[in-house]
Each structure stands twice: as structure tokens, then as C-alpha cells.
Amino acid sequence: MFLIKRKVSFSAAHRLYSDALSDEENRAVYGKCSNPNYHGHNFSLEVAVKGEPDPRTGMVINFKTLGEILEREVVEQLDHRNLNLEVDWLRGVVPTAENLVRAIWEILESKIPQGRLHSLTLSETESSSVTYFGPHGGTT
Amino acid sequence: MFLIKRKVSFSAAHRLYSDALSDEENRAVYGKCSNPNYHGHNFSLEVAVKGEPDPRTGMVINFKTLGEILEREVVEQLDHRNLNLEVDWLRGVVPTAENLVRAIWEILESKIPQGRLHSLTLSETESSSVTYFGPHGGTT
Amino acid sequence: MFLIKRKVSFSAAHRLYSDALSDEENRAVYGKCSNPNYHGHNFSLEVAVKGEPDPRTGMVINFKTLGEILEREVVEQLDHRNLNLEVDWLRGVVPTAENLVRAIWEILESKIPQGRLHSLTLSETESSSVTYFGPHGGTT
Amino acid sequence: MFLIKRKVSFSAAHRLYSDALSDEENRAVYGKCSNPNYHGHNFSLEVAVKGEPDPRTGMVINFKTLGEILEREVVEQLDHRNLNLEVDWLRGVVPTAENLVRAIWEILESKIPQGRLHSLTLSETESSSVTYFGPHGGTT
Amino acid sequence: MFLIKRKVSFSAAHRLYSDALSDEENRAVYGKCSNPNYHGHNFSLEVAVKGEPDPRTGMVINFKTLGEILEREVVEQLDHRNLNLEVDWLRGVVPTAENLVRAIWEILESKIPQGRLHSLTLSETESSSVTYFGPHGGTT
Amino acid sequence: MFLIKRKVSFSAAHRLYSDALSDEENRAVYGKCSNPNYHGHNFSLEVAVKGEPDPRTGMVINFKTLGEILEREVVEQLDHRNLNLEVDWLRGVVPTAENLVRAIWEILESKIPQGRLHSLTLSETESSSVTYFGPHGGTT
């Protein structure tokens, strides 16, 4: 089994605030991440596609194809945007790394033409990231 | 001559918009960086202090001292903030990397207890940065 | 399933020397790593916590909470220390990366308030690391 | 279970061209990677060996031993070489990342003296890599 | 004085071989870099433009403008190419890092619309690079 | 003018303690860096050699030559060593980054066969480094 991995990045603003929580609870849970005027990150997204190489081409999926899908479906949608206000498919979502990566999974899953989406890793900073294996995936 | 360098980072939101320009000019000059709902970055700041080591201690300035100054004067002021709205000493400043680094210079210059501030490098992303040598500094 | 990952680093001295081996065997097994006067590294530790996000907060565990635990339980204990001499919970342990990461697992496992500890990756250098999945974990 | 990881790099030329495809198909499938005059990369290879530490030494396998194997079996064979023309064990292989990593697996598998080869990750660039888990390995 | 820096990368093949030297001398001087079948790198190029920010825009030169120039003048010309055979403005040039960076300077110098080209840093690998300050530039 | 840069790294133990200071002063000045049992780092050293390329070879100095000098004169002397106890040319030197880099300059200066030593950058961690321009060098 092979995993093909490709990384892109986008710069966006967000704040963590849940309507299900009071203002006080929001501050307690999210701290300075709940700043009403937003903050931002250079988010990095690494997608992993699993599969076997096509014997004719020797590839599971072309890095270039994968890069173009990520550019179109993720970077063009999220780069230089406000993740709380400006993205249709994030409406009503508290933009934690966990919720973002699950929403990105739903966007990407059906768009992968060869192989199958295995996992997504979204990094907020060089020291903080979330990996998601999909609704049915996982590791022991 | 020695340069002592220390790096910190902060995550902030900003937008590029100048009152001296029309909305159309703003879009023409700043492109998607002028998005009214902001975007953001993990900014990285590297400070360089120049000087000669104190013969008793063998140091120009302690990395730890330098780090604490940067933490207090820069990171606590800018991290998880909106650079257009929330920082007193950035009021009225279009937060381009050039303007940010000059404003940070003014804040830091008098706070360096040993050696002298030589230059500041502010990175917006891994591939984009500005280095400032101060109002009287420079290189050939 | 989600993995939440957070990275910290610490600078420490160690030497590899086992009382179960003769001096000659120590040199044969550990080479220059057995230097009696110690050497050192900037160790990097990445912790992975697995779980499902709390639907109210959208988080498995807050990056900040996880970071504070790592700071208190690992960095404060190991940073600028001698791993052979100064850490209670490493007494009698040959501080190989394997043994260190297992000892850190025992310290951290019960301290994770949400989700469960999935794996720890300890890097000695940029090109050398060990990942541990716990006494009952593992991958195929 | 432990994974011991070690990284090396090598600089090589290659082109993607399959005799099973027409020239037109080669261009359609591989794009500029099929340039007849070759292009090149700083390839990075990370090997992961799984196992339990020997209780006497506290190591699954010495980083140094692993590094020497990679140097001899991979770097000396591939560094500053043309992967299409100059490597016996790549003859007839279209040097995609997938095919390269599978060929390297076959070379390395029997050479690991302690533990067992778990996976290999070959990066062509900082944003493009392939991980291979061997003919019988894999993840869910 | 400000330096605006922007980084791009390209993957190319080359070999070091000088017609002014015998085959034996070529091998002696360039070692395995003179392999007749080529090798390759992920080259990284960082351009530094010096100037003062325009008071209306707060920028010396837009990162985006600079990036587009580098993309068009350097990346499109050199990426996935053979630097010995396929680039008009490298014809007759032994493609050492020194010679490449000087040739790139000549291409770029007149293309920078604001500020002035200050220096170019070309990296062959993460540990090997050359910085060029132009025919009239330099540092003490 | 060209700068040729090459980077190496070494893992060593040290402590900061000056005989010219009392124990109390040592703790006040050096903090946890004065731990009597040592701590350590993966030090990284980047050397910059300045010069003009030889027109016959197109090189100021071969990266390989420079790397071999650094390996022999620096890495073999300092790697896996205790910088307070084991290095002849560091005897009596408080091993601050400033003092280390000056001592390394004295070792290297006469060993560079082509071009001239321009500067040395020694990093203790990814965020802390010192650049030295030699006893007669410097920047404005």
C-alpha cells in the first residue's frame, strides 16, 4: 500500500466562538483564540491518498493532478479569506482545526480521481496540527 | 563585530487598505490582501543585535534576555490580535510588512540593554520577508 | 478519528552507557555516544492525542492545554538538564531515544485530560527519531 | 511497538517516460516530468524500522547502523546519478516516486539487521512525497 | 533601508563540465558533479530587492509582483529543464551555483520595477548556497 | 562579490560558567545554562567564504572542499564532545555562542584555500544564533 502526499498552504483569518456557549464560556474554552477581531495563520494542509500504482504509469495519482485539486478546492476557497464569514461550506462551523479538517475532507473526498483519500493533516503553526482519517478511517 | 539573532513568532490578522487610496486603487495595489474581512499569518520576527562580547561574560546580550524583551514588547502586543484595529502603536499604519517592521523597530530600539539593534527581519510566510536596518542603517 | 499533535523541544545532555555491559561493550554498542563527559541535543518531542471532537467546542483537546501539559511535565523536567544524572523518573534508565520516549509516555499517559495518548515521537536530530505507540498500541 | 526513523538525501536526475506508452501519451501523463533531457531533485528518504528495544542496549537499532546502511545501499548508489540510465536495480523501471520507493524497499528489506522494515517515505520536493509500507504492509 | 525578499524553487538537471579543462581535470575539479549523465537538485532562489517604501502604499515592491517576476523569468525558464542543454541564456556557461546566480542576476536586474536588485541567493541543497551582490555590489 | 555558504552540525554538551564570576554571579548571568551537570545542543555552523569565481572553473571554492574542511576542523573536533572539558583550543573559554564562534574563526581562517573567510553563523537552537565577521570585518 502506498500513500501519496501533497502539501499546500493558505493564509486566513479566523476566531473560535461557539453560539452554543456563553461569552464567558467562549473565553474560558478558547482563550485569546476567541478574540472578536480575529487573528490568523499560515495554515498548511497535507493530503494523503492511498492506493496501488497503475502498472502502466507507475503512479497512484500524479502529484500535479493532486496539487491542482488542492489549489482549486482548498486554496482558492480559503486563501486570504475570513474562515468565519466568507466560505459557504464553513457556515455555522466553529473553525477549530478539527472542524476545518473535517469540512475539507467532505469537499475533497469525491474529488480524488485515483486512489482514495486516506487522511488530511492541517497545521495551524509549526508545532500544532490535526490529522483526520475520515468518518470511517482510523488507526489503532 | 558580532550579530546576536533571536526569532519569535506571532499569529495575527490584518488587511492592507490605505485611506490615501480609493477602494479601486486599494484593490489594484493590494489585491486579495485588501479583503475587508481580513486574513492572517504566522508572522516570524528575527531581531539582530550587534556588539562586542563583554569579556567577563563572553556575551553581547543573553539570548534569554533578548527573548524576554521580544516576548513582552512584540509577542504579547501582537499575538492573536488584529493589527489594523487593536494595537495602539500601529494606529493609522497600513500593516504592510515594511510598515510593521519599522513600527516594531521604534518599539524595540530603546529597549535593548546591551549592544545595539542592527536589523529586524519580519516574515509573512516562508517565502516572503522584509529586513529593515533602521532609519540610519543600511548596506551597500 | 482525529490525532491532535503538539511539538515542544528541550536542550539536554546525555551519554549512552549501560551498567549491564562492560566498558568495551559500551564503546562497541554506543560508539561516541558513550563519551563519559556527555554530549547533547536539542531534542524535539511531538505528542499525538487521539479522540473525537466535543460537539460543543469542536475540539478533541485544546492545543494550549496540551502545550501547557508538555511544558510542565516534560520541558520543565528535562530542559537544560543532564538526563543521566538529574531526572528522578529517568534514574537507572540508559537514555536512548527508545528508553526516553517510553519513560515520557509513562509520565504523560495519565495527564491527558481529554482524548487518549496515541503516540510520541522523540527526535534527537533532524534526521533521527523514534515513535512509540505505548505498551498496548502499535501499527500493522 | 517502536518505529526508529532515519533520513538521508541524494541529488539525482531522472525523467518519467514509459515504453508502454506512446510519446503523446507520455507527455499527457507525465507532462514536463517527461522532458527527454531530464530534470532532477534533492530526493529525501526516511526509513522506518519497527521493533522492540533490546533490554540490554535500550535500542531497536542504532541510528548510526541504520545511517550506514542507508548511506551504502541507497546514497552511494543514487547520489549524483541518472536514475534512468545508471542504476542496475532500476533498469526498466519508470522512476516515479512510487516505483523508486518500491525498488529501494527490495534493496533494503534484507539488509536491516535488527527490527523489521516498516515503511519508506521518499520526498521529491518539500511538498510531494510517497510512503510505502511494503508488499504485505499497509494501514487501514 | 529595506530589503524585500522572496523565495522560489525549481527542479532541474545539470552537470559541471568545462570545455577549458581536460576530462581528467574536469573529474579532478568537479568530482561526481561532472557525471556525463547529469544529476539534479531542487534549487531554491531568494531574491532581495532594496529600497524605501512608497509612502502611499507602504511597500517597496509588492511580494506578489516580485513573485510573478521570479515565476516568469526564472521558474518557467529553468524548472524541469536541463541547465546545460535547454536554456538560451545559459549556453556556454558551466552551471556552477556561482555562474547560475550571475546569469540570473543579468536576467532579473532590468525587470525589477520598484527598488533595486540587492542580492540573489541560490541554494543547491539545504546546506550549500551562493549569494551574489551584483557586479558593483558587495559587503566589506 | 560572491559568498559561498556551507552548513554543518554537531551535537555537544556545554555549560556556561566563568571563573571570573562568583557562583552567585554565574547563576545570575547564565541562569539554567550554568547547570554544573551540563546540557547540550545540536549546534549548526554556517561558514561564508567570499571571493570571485575562478574563470576556468566557475567556482570560488568547491562546496565539497569547504564541507571537508568543516568536517575535519570543526565536526570531528566538537561532535559528541563536552565543549568545556575536551577540546584543546577551547580550554579556558566560556563556551558561549560568541566565544565558540570566535574560536572556530581562528581555527578556520588559515584553512580556507580559496577565497577568504567572510563570516560564521553558529546556531544553538532554531531561534538563537550568532554571526561573527572576524576581528577586522563587520557591517555598518
- Residues B117-135: tens digit of each pLDDT: 999 999 999 999 999 999 9
Report the alpha-carbon distance of residue E37 to residue F24 in Å, rounded: 64
Give the pLDDT confidence of F72-112 residue by residue, as tens digits: 999 999 999 999 999 999 999 999 999 999 999 999 999 99
Query: Is residue C140 predicted with pLDDT exceeding 70?
Result: no
Chain A hits for D131, CB-CB cut-off 8 Å, are 2-3, 5, 48
Residue E137's pLDDT band (boundaries 50, 70, 90)? confident
Instruction: Go through chain D and tell me how many residues it has.
Output: 140
Give the pLDDT confidence of E78-115 residue by residue, as tens digits: 999 999 999 999 999 999 999 999 999 999 999 999 99
The pLDDT of D117-132, averaged and rounded, is: 98
Residue A140's pLDDT band (boundaries 50, 70, 90)? very low
Query: Is residue A46 predicted with pLDDT exceeding 50?
Result: yes
Whether the Cβ atoms of residue E65 and residue B33 lie closer than 8 Å to each other = no
**Contact assignment for E64 to B124 by CB distance below 8 Å:** no
Give the pLDDT confidence of C58-104 residue by residue, as tens digits: 999 999 999 999 999 999 999 999 999 999 999 999 999 999 999 99
The pLDDT of C105-128, averaged and rounded, is: 98
Give the pLDDT confidence of D18-65 residue by residue, as tens digits: 999 999 999 999 999 999 999 999 999 999 999 999 999 999 999 999
CATH number of A2-132: 3.30.479.10
Q: How far E134 CA lies from chain B's nearest CA (Å)?
A: 11
Using CB atoms, list chains with 3+ pairs below 8 Å to chain B. Answer: A, E, F
The pLDDT of A79-92, averaged and rounded, is: 98
Residue B113's pLDDT is: 97
Q: Cα separations (Å) of D58 from A87, C8, C27, C126, D2?
A: 51, 23, 14, 21, 12
Report the alpha-carbon distance of residue A48 to residue A34 in Å, rounded: 31
E33 is catalytic: yes
Query: Is residue A139 predicted with pLDDT exceeding 70?
Result: no
Across all residues in chain B, what is the average pLDDT?
A: 96
C-alpha cell at E92: 556556454
DSSP letters along B31-71, please? Answer: GGGG-TT-EEEEEEEEEEEEE--BTTTTBSS-HHHHHHHHI
Report the alpha-carbon distance of residue D19 to residue E131 in Å, rounded: 42
Residues contacting F42, CB < 8 A, separation 6+: C41, C42, C124, C125, C126, F9, F10, F11
- To the nearest whole percent, how much of chain F has pLDDT over 90? 96
Report the alpha-carbon distance of residue F19 to residue E3 in Å, rounded: 43
User: From the list C37, C42, C86, which residue is nearest F125 (CB)?
Assistant: C42
Residue C138 identity (one-letter amino acid)? G
Residue B140's pLDDT band (boundaries 50, 70, 90)? very low
The pLDDT of A3-23, averaged and rounded, is: 97
Stated as kind and residue range, the H or E segment containing A123 is strand A116-125
Query: Is residue C139 predicted with pLDDT exceeding 60?
Result: no
Query: Is residue E120 predicted with pLDDT exceeding 90?
Result: yes
**Contact assignment for C98 to D8 by CB distance below 8 Å:** no
Whether the Cβ atoms of residue F121 and residue F131 lie closer than 8 Å to each other = yes
Mark residue F92 as left, alpha or beta (left: phi above 0; alpha: psi -120 to 50; beta: remaining). left
Query: Is residue F140 predicted with pLDDT exceeding 60?
Result: no
Residues contacting D17, CB < 8 A, separation 6+: D26, D30, D34, D36, D84, D94
Residues on A contacting C at a C-beta cutoff of 8 Å: 16, 18, 20-21, 29-31, 33, 93-94, 96-99, 101-102, 124, 126-133, 137-140
User: From the list A1, A56, A118, which residue is nearest D20 (CB)?
Assistant: A56
**Contact assignment for B42 to A38 by CB distance below 8 Å:** no
Query: Is residue D139 predicted with pLDDT exceeding 60?
Result: no
Query: Is residue E139 predicted with pLDDT exceeding 70?
Result: no
Residue E124's pLDDT is: 98
Using CB atoms, list chains with 3+ pairs below 8 Å to chain A. Answer: B, C, D
C-alpha cell at B102: 519599522
